[in-house]
Structure formats: structure tokens, C-alpha cells
Amino acid sequence: MHTRRIGDVEVSAIGLGGMPMSIEGRPDEARSLATIHAALDAGVTLIDTADAYHRDAHEVGHNETLIAKALASHDLGKDVLVATKGGHLRPGDGSWTLDGSPRHLKEACEASLRRLGVEAIGLYQFHRPDPRVPYAESVGAIRDLLDEGKILMAGISNANPERIGQANEILGGRLVSVQNQFSPAFRSSEPELRLCDELGIAFLPWSPLGGISRAGELGSAYAPFARVAEAHGVSPQQVCLAWMLAKSPVVVPIPGSSRPETIRDSLGAVGLVLGAEEIAELDAV
């Protein structure tokens, strides 16, 4: 497994996104545990989650609890950096809401600590800006958690370049990650990726394959990815992740998965070397 860095921590170049194992359409627990264990066996040392990754209103933190159980039952679990998030909520009716208030973020962090069963969270990220709360106040709460030792590293998600700069300033230069949507279908985070590359901040693309319902259609929707995949004898999904890895050494994709075979396939991208012409062709999509 090739590695990259988030802050001062070395992690697998591709992580595992936990969301599909906890929201609508999720598999049974046995398959989810098998998926996480397959990722660990293949060398994954980064798992992304959030307290909002659940389906029903009464099960906040479902995905965090699931991941904690999987890590505790595997010999390699202790070597994993768990990145979780706070500030997003799911009332249980399928919608997503926001609460970026400092009080909520600090309470959410305490709850995540309990569910993950740790004294300090490896990477805690502000999930999404709340228009009702000044961004500086929300990030200030993350700074406080960092200063108090409740979290070891701090990140933000769904942020534009201005907010990346603002967050890094509030955190005293300690911003280690930015998690934004980025895929062949969603390219508007290119400026944030470039800024992270300049600053040496990890860029974690979420839904890198286009989302839960569309990941399997990547090759049919984007012909260049299918052509390059055929040339290398791999899946279009592997080509997509290899293309992202080639963009910058700060990129660490976190494809979501709920099947052992899909995460194993995704991880094959770390050894896939694309030529300059292939990368240019994919960039032009």
C-alpha cells in the first residue's frame, strides 16, 4: 500500500468512506464488518465517518459505532486513523440539517469520543458551514477542541478557498485537511485542490466515484475513463482514483463502499500508473 500524509500522520493513499454502510440502502452489519476488515487486510489505514452517517433519528453515530466495532475486532484496527465530522444532522426523514454552533460541535465531539471509544479523536472535521453561525465561531470551536486535546488534528469539509484560508488562520496554521466533493462529474473543487497543494494540506475527495448510486456507471457516463481502463485491464473506478492521485501528492481519495470486493478494487488504483497523455485525456472530460 502506498502512503500519503495527513498532518504528521502517514496514511494509506486511499481511504475507506463509511457512509454507505449506515444510510438508506445499507447492508446488514455482517457485510459492513466484512467490508471494513477487507479494507484493513488490504492496507487501509484511513477511515472516514461522521456522526450524521445514520438512517433513523434514534441512531445518531451509527457509522462511528460500526467502525469502532470493526476496528476492535481486527488486529490491524489500532493502526487506523479515524476521521470523523460534526455539524451536520439527520432528523430521520431523509433530510440533512445543520448546526455549526460551538455548543453543538463540542457536544457532538464528546459523543463521538464515546462512540469511538477513544480519549482523543485522530482527525475531527467541521462537516459543513452553517449560514446561521459565523464561520469563525464554528472553526473556533474546533480550535478549542484541538487545544484541549479532545482531537489530535483538525480539518474542514465543504469549504471554498476563502474559508480554507480563514480556518487555517483561526487554527494557527494547524489545518491539516479539507474534505470536498470531487469527481469526474463534480469538478468545481479544483481551486480548493490547488490551494491545498500549495499549502501542503491534505485534500480528501468525497464521492470520488460520483456517489453511491452512480459509481457503477462511471465508465458508461465518461467514455475516456472506460477507454483508459480497457487499455490497462482494470475498472474505470480504478482509473478514476489513479487520476485523482496523480493530480497532487496531497490528494487522498475516500471512496465509499459497502462490499469487500468494491473496496479491494478501488485500492488497486494505488499501483496504477497513468501516462501523461492519458491524464490529459481524463482532465479534458
At 283 the pLDDT is 95
CA angle 241-229-283, nearest 5°?
55
Containing 66, the helix (H) or strand (E) segment is: helix 62-72
At 114 the pLDDT is 98
At 195 the pLDDT is 98
Half-sphere exposure (CA, 13 Å, Cβ side) for 141? 26
CB atoms within 10 A of CB 148: 11
C-alpha dihedral sign at 97, 103, 106, 112: negative
CB 54 within 8 A of CB 23: yes
pTM of the predicted model as reported, rounded to 2 decimal places? 0.95
At 51 the pLDDT is 97
Residue whose C-alpha cell reads 446561521 in the numeric block: 132
At 92 the pLDDT is 87
Residues of the chain with pLDDT under 50: none
At 211 the pLDDT is 81
CB 126 within 8 A of CB 168: no
All three cell numbers of 4, joined, read 500519503
Containing 4, the helix (H) or strand (E) segment is: strand 3-6
CB atoms within 10 A of CB 221: 15
- Give pLDDT tens digits for 147-195: 999 999 999 999 999 999 999 999 999 999 999 999 999 999 999 999 9
d(CA 156, CA 87): 10
At 214 the pLDDT is 77
Residue 53: active-site member: yes
Report, in angstroms and rounded to the nearest whole number, the Rg of the chain calculated over CA atoms: 18
d(CA 2, CA 203): 16
Catalytic residue, chosen from 53, 124, 135, 222, is 53
